[in-house]
Amino acid sequence: MLSIVDNVVDFSCSTLLTISDFLNTPLSEMVALGYVLTKQEASLLGLEHRDDPTVQMLYGISRVALEHEIRDEEGTVEVLLKVCKNNQDQYKRIIEAIGENGNDSKQARIYANDGLIYNEACIRKYTKQLSNSPMQEPLALPPTVQASSSSKPTHKSPLRIIDPNPRKTDMEWVIEFVGEYKTTKKRMNWKMCFDEGRNAGYLGTYSNPQSLKNTSNKLNPKH
């Protein structure tokens, strides 16, 4: 393999040395062609004779001939950048979850697992698409929910953001209220519970304190 590379390098160098005596502006067509092929620069900016009309013409022809491949490559880069941005946002969420929750790593584990699922699915999908066709958009896996993290991605990430302070259900609020109330009072006041629950934005499905009491006793007989 090294010998092949050495031969190619030797050929390019010998070709450049051969045409070096003819690199006078303007270049002849054959000299310009040999110059472009041996230099193998992706852009005219990398060429000393970039102002030569024949060299410019050759690059123009190459661009038209390879235009579809250029578009495909640009599309591939764009998709990969989106995947990288999604992963970057996910790493930030994991770090923030650890910082906010301390020893409670449940939220961080959920974020890490979502990221793992996302990457595994991307690997499976794009491995099957190893062809000349353009890459598809990054997979939208876990459902995205309302953002509550301090990080604000510039695009909509397919990876969910966990609300660090999820809203309680009506019964969760009632259980918490009853527990706190009974620490100082012996007899439960369901009217107070009903009124405070309504003021806090809960218990909208209950018509009166008695219906709340009946439901609570049924679901939580210990109370």
Q: What is the pLDDT of residue 21?
A: 52
pLDDT for residue 192: 92
The reported pLDDT for the residue numbered 190 is: 92
**Cβ atoms 37, 58 nearer than 8 A:** no
pLDDT at res. 193: 93
**pTM for the whole structure:** 0.33
Tens place of pLDDT per residue across the chain (223 aa): 444 334 434 444 444 455 555 556 677 888 888 887 887 776 666 777 778 888 888 888 877 777 666 566 556 767 777 777 788 888 888 888 777 766 667 778 888 888 878 777 777 777 766 554 555 555 554 444 333 344 444 455 556 665 656 677 888 889 889 888 888 887 889 999 999 999 888 888 888 999 999 888 888 776 5
DSSP the chain: -HHHHHHHHHHHHHHHHHHGGG--SSPPHHHHHHHHHHH--SSGGG-TTTT-HHHHHHHHHHHHHTHHHHHHHHHHHHHHHHHHHHHHHHHHHHHHHHHHHTT--HHHHHHHHHHHHHHHHHHHHHHHT-SSSPPPPPP--SPP----SS---SS--SS----SSPPPPHHHHHHHHHHHHTTT-SS--HHHHHHHHHHTT--TT-SSHHHHHHHHHHH-TT-
Share of the chain above pLDDT 70, in %: 61
- Cα distance between residue 180 and residue 135, in whole Å: 57
170-174's contacts with Cβ under 8 Å and 24+ in sequence apart are 170/197, 170/202, 170/203, 170/205, 170/206, 171/215, 171/216, 171/219, 171/220, 173/197, 173/200, 173/202, 173/203, 174/202, 174/203, 174/212, 174/216, 174/220
